[in-house]
Amino acid sequence: MLLFTRRLELKGEQLQRIKEYCLSGKPIVAVRTASHGIQSWLAFDHEVLGGNYQGHYGSDLPTKVRIAANAREHPILKGVNPFVSHASLYKNHGHARDLNILLTGNNTIETEPIAWTRKYKNGRLFYTSLGHPDDFEQESFRRLVANGLFWTSGREVPVPRNR
């Protein structure tokens, strides 16, 4: 499942289908606002993603995207290089302790985790708080999401072609 939602009010069967999928241990890739994208299941962020979205810092500060210590060799980071995002940095302190943090973001005020993996119900999960429209202009961001899709589904992450 690729989840990139924003403030949906899902109920009944729609919400139940998403919950059942998450509980099944199947792969999940969640992008940016997915952390608070289902207003009728705000616990999704903490329970499934392992995050703790608490709003965001001002949008006037660019975020320097950096590879986390000891994460460089993770398959999701193949072909991903540090870059600057113009998205506001999400506040995410108090996240689950079992996250494997891949990227951090710094806006000159704070540093927060902005991409991680986690096992949930024995399934692979990848989340990133990146995903602002401008991020899609960055080759490293597009590569990150593509790699996340390969990795969560248990497929080998391809080596990026040189352009």
Query: What does pLDDT average to over the chain?
Result: 94
Could you tell me which residues come within 8 angstroms of residue 16 by beta carbon, excluding any fewer than 6 positions away? none
Task: Establish if 115 belongs to a structural domain.
Answer: yes
Residue 139 vs residues 28, 38, 62, 76, 134: alpha-carbon distances, Å? 22, 28, 17, 14, 11
Mean pLDDT of 14-41: 95
Task: Establish if 160 belongs to a structural domain.
Answer: no
Task: Establish if 159 belongs to a structural domain.
Answer: no
CA distance 116 to 128: 7
Task: Establish if 157 belongs to a structural domain.
Answer: no
Confidence of residue 90 (pLDDT cuts 50, 70, 90): very high
Q: Residue 143 sits in a domain of what CATH number?
A: 3.40.50.880
Task: Establish if 69 belongs to a structural domain.
Answer: yes
Identify the domain containing residue 80 by its residue range: 2-152
Confidence of residue 159 (pLDDT cuts 50, 70, 90): confident
pLDDT at 126: 98
DSSP 84: E
pLDDT exceeds cutoff 90 at 162:
no
Q: Check if the beta carbon of residue 38 is closer than 8 Å to that of residue 67.
A: no
Task: Establish if 94 belongs to a structural domain.
Answer: yes
Mean pLDDT of 132-141: 96
Please state the domain count of the chain: 1
Task: Establish if 43 belongs to a structural domain.
Answer: yes
pLDDT at 128: 98
Task: Establish if 33 belongs to a structural domain.
Answer: yes
